[in-house]
């Protein structure tokens, strides 16, 4: 059995929203957040960039700890999804 490394967004970022969230804009079939209301870019979702740092188009909003959760260690180690 293989395990999938989770994106930095879920479940530790307070801004993350699942496409199943009732607040999801109609017709948006992918994860989104306040920083990326049209969908989280693949470079962030796949842990290719650290979204504690500025990313083009993030409206100045970055990863924000949910319930005091630490930033995911696997992203710091450079593991991609």
Q: What is the pLDDT of residues 16-44, one digit of tens each?
A: 999 998 989 888 999 999 999 999 999 99
Please tell me whether residue 76 adopts helix, strand or coil conformation.
Answer: helix
Phi, psi at residue 73, to the nearest 5°?
-60, -35
Task: Give the per-residue pLDDT at 79.
Answer: 58
Give CA separation, 80 vs 12, 60, 65, in Å: 16, 24, 20
Cα dihedral 6, 8, 9, 11 in deg (nearest 10): 50
Q: What is the pLDDT of residues 68-79, one digit of tens each?
A: 999 998 887 665
pTM of the model: 0.85
């Amino acid at each position: 059995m293989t395990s999938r490394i989770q994106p930095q967004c879920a479940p530790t970022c307070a801004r993350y929203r699942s496409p199943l969230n009732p607040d999801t804009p109609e017709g948006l079939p992918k994860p989104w957040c306040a920083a990326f209301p049209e969908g989280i870019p693949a470079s962030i979702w796949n842990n290719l960039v650290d979204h504690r740092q500025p990313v083009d188009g993030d409206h100045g909003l970055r990863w924000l700890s949910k319930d005091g959760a630490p930033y995911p260690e696997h992203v710091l180690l450079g593991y991609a999804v």
